[in-house]
A and B are shown apart, each in its own frame.
Chain A
């Protein structure tokens, strides 16, 4: 087990190397000069040239990449082109907001989505099943920023119950988390339902029922546990997506998260900030995947047995 984890963590090295090389090449080949973007519309050619020189943009590609990697090895992600702030500090300031947003939303999705999925499966074609199908599809088809704005109008402007924006206290997270949960609910509900339906028809479920196990025990122990692995996978994918991709919701609710940082960085061609964010995201994705793989082992004794070998 320990060896397995160590191996997976060592895999981070080629992943980070690959990701950094790809992003750096894209940023290098991308047309447009960051110095010109920074200086704005009153810039003269001399000022642009001077700033390009100061920023080291005139160096050849491999020198620039090598310099960047030299810093990266020492844990230095460099400083932003736009404001000169340290990239690691910027990311550290934004990460908690994104983590909270993603974690609460995914928690909400699981708390609502998995039970609904289970009920839909065991009461297939019932009213609950139909309503949940329709509702999940409607929510999934609506754009997140629109749901967000509507929730804001209702709860903040009309009812004056919740603050529309910000990330100052837990109360600010209610609306954005509801929005993200609404958008992501459908996948988890549907996935739970379909895997549960598959499992319910298995022989061992019939056996469990035959030996006289109560319906609750059959569903929770025999079906759910076996049906959990695909659901867990999908939840993990959604969680990873939320960490890097809740851009619209972050922007609508004016939350200073990682997604909006990355978008601002891309708009201003801020290579160090883009590199830093993407590398951090790549590491987070890898770690989440590792954690999920380990969770498979917790759920499924067959997988655990493979680790033991």
Chain B
């Protein structure tokens, strides 16, 4: 009797377990982009595009997220006053045209007529003013609005920004997803937290759902001012492992991979169903030399280190020759209207040795380099081999990123490698945070009042032509002072289903889904 009861009990437990598990499973079935049932890359039948991204967005609220993986989703949902085209030229967005006063202190924007928000409201200058106000209040994106002193709304479709100082970078910021215009009414009604999960804005797509840690699902907005986008549904799916993302693309589960690792390129290029796209980026790797510590406080020693390193070898060894490009200038070409040319040091062991001798270090010296694991560690190993040739003995120390940050802050290092992402195409972003003496990310601890003045002046110069010249001068000056060894600019590598039309890479690692079609 008891034996039977026990057996029935065990059966019941199993049935219950199976029941709960299958019930859990049912909730998420049949969402768009759900895998398995998709036909492999058929022509013109698809109305969904699945985009792989390497990390989950922090928030979908334009004013509460500033990293690449967040902004690439945000920009599908909210439009900015102005946009940038493929070559990083400014083109109209929500604003049809704009005027900048000669002193660079007043920006007037004329808004497009009849632009609809996802909730049916029409865009007014009030929404723009509200966006600026909440942007200024958000620590994450405040820098994009910092120069704007007050906003004037003379009528419903005109907005005037009064700047407290000339800030030529303002236009670049106003094309950044972090200045995406939000709908004032919806934002006030929903509150920041709910708004961050499903913002109401003026972009081509609106949020359907956000499954934590997994994916964000969007659908095309019928009344988008530029017409309903060609592809109805967009899924941004998180793939922390880039190999997996590549496999998912080859199997047809994913349509676009935004962060392709160089090791997957060969197999993706060999696949006829996949197209690989490459382009310049705004991301630079520098070898920072601690200018406060001997012997690297000596300009000649820093120049010698520049001569001693063959950066092309680093690109070949650590980026497989395709993931990065040689750095001829401190400023990405895309951020400057004039080609800065190639100012890099020639690779020459003799010149390096000679400079070291002049500096009094003919016998070389020992020093350490702080890196994070992965590609930085690889770069450090190549550097060690090259510096060995000029008798500089490099000790490689690998740390986790936040530890490395605090070690740099305390100053106990000779060299370190830093990857800097300029979120908008303006030379200021590639230089100011790195080389101005008071900046946190001045990892060379380079302090030079002349350079500081040059950077400050260029920062606020309202005349674009003169500003470009100023940056060219800064570029030359930096090559001469050599606070870093510029290693490379990375290459943006995207891979997409060959059936997608209109694809191109974006230097910032973004994608504009509304320009694509099947």
Interface residues of A (CB under 8 A from B): 30-34, 36-45, 47-48, 50-51, 54, 82-85, 89-90, 93-94, 96, 99-100, 103-104, 145, 149, 152-153, 156-157, 160, 162-172, 251-257, 260-261, 264, 267, 269, 298
Q: Please measure, in the bound complex, the distance between the C-alpha atom of A90 and the C-alpha atom of B211, giving whole angstroms.
A: 10
Cβ-closest 8 pairs across A and B: A32-B402, A163-B35, A256-B213, A31-B406, A256-B214, A93-B212, A168-B34, A83-B58
Q: Given A32-B402, A93-B212, A169-B25 in contact, is the A40-B237 Cβ separation under 8 Å?
A: no
Shortest C-beta distance, A172 to chain B (Å), equals 6
- Whether A252 touches B212, Cβ cut-off 8 Å, given contacts A32-B405, A160-B251, A163-B35, is no
**Assembled-state Cα–Cα distance A90/B251 (Å):** 30
Partner of B441 from A43, A85, A145, A170 at Cβ < 8 Å: A43
Give every chain A residue within 8 A of B66 (Cβ-Cβ): 39-40, 42
Count B interface residues, CB 8 Å.
63
Proximity string of chain B (190-201) to chain A, C-beta cutoff 8 Å, 1 when within and 0 when not: 000100100000
In the bound complex, CA of A167 to CA of B402 (Å): 32
Expressed in whole angstroms, the Cα–Cα distance for A203 and B477 within the complex equals 90
Please give the distance in Å from A244's CB to the nearest CB on chain B.
Answer: 15
Tell whether, in the assembled complex, residue B143 and residue A42 are in contact, meaning their CB atoms are under 8 Å apart: yes
Residues in A neighbouring B31, C-beta threshold 8 A: 168
B:418-469 near A, CB below 8 Å: 418-421, 423, 429, 433, 438-441
Which residue among A89, A152, A166, A269 has the maximum number of chain B CB atoms within 10 Å of its CB? A166
B24: contacting residue among A36, A96, A149, CB under 8 A = A96
A255 to B248, CA, bound (A): 13
* Min C-beta distance of B158 to chain A, whole Å: 31
- Chain A's nearest CB lies how many Å from the CB of B198? 13
Q: A44-B439, A90-B212, A160-B40 in contact; A254/B251 too (CB < 8 A)? A: no
Name the B residues within 8 Å of A256 (CB-CB).
211-214, 238
Complex interface: stretch among B96-104, B119-127, B239-247: B239-247
B490 within 8 A of A: no
Chain B residues within an 8 Å CB radius of A257:
213
A-B contact count (CB 8 A): 181
What are the residues of chain B within 8 A of A82 when measuring CB–CB?
A: 58
A269: B residues at CB distance < 8 A: 402
A152 close to B247 (CB less than 8 A): yes
Name the residue on B nearest A166 (C-beta): B35
Q: Is B22 an interface position by the 8 A CB rule?
A: yes
A30 to B405, CA, bound (A): 12
Assess the A104–B248 pair: CB atoms within 8 A. Answer: no
**Does B59 lie at the interface of the complex (its beta carbon under 8 Å from any beta carbon of A)?**
yes
Q: Which residues of B contact A45 (CB under 8 A)?
A: 438-440
CB of B452, distance to nearest CB on chain A (Å): 14
Q: Which residues of A contact B407 (CB under 8 A)?
A: 31
Are B251 and A156 closer than 8 Å at their CB atoms? yes
In the bound complex, CA of A6 to CA of B389 (Å): 70
Do residues A43 and B402 form an inter-chain contact, with CB atoms below 8 A?
no
Contacts A32-B402, A32-B406 hold; do A54 and B21 have CB atoms under 8 A apart?
A: no
- Is B90 located at the chain interface by the 8 A CB criterion? no
Asked if B140 CB lies within 8 Å of chain A CBs, one says yes
Given the complex, which residues of A lie within 8 Å of B419, measured CB to CB?
41
Q: Which residue of B lies closest to A170 (CB)?
A: B25
Q: Quick check: is B78 within 8 A (CB to CB) of the other chain? A: no
- A37-B401, A166-B237, A252-B243 are known contacts; what are 5 more A-B pairs with Cβ within 8 Å? A39-B139, A45-B439, A156-B247, A164-B35, A254-B241
Q: Please, which residues of chain B bring their CB within 8 A of the CB of A37? A: 401-402, 405
Chain A residue at minimal CB-CB distance from B70:
A83
Choice from B21, B213, B406 contacting A261 with Cβ under 8 Å? B213
CB neighbours (8 Å) of B238 from chain A are 254, 256
Asked whether A38 and B140 contact (CB < 8 A) given A43-B441, A45-B438, the answer is: yes
A-B contact pairs, 7 of them (CB 8 A): A31-B407, A43-B433, A47-B139, A149-B244, A163-B35, A165-B248, A254-B239
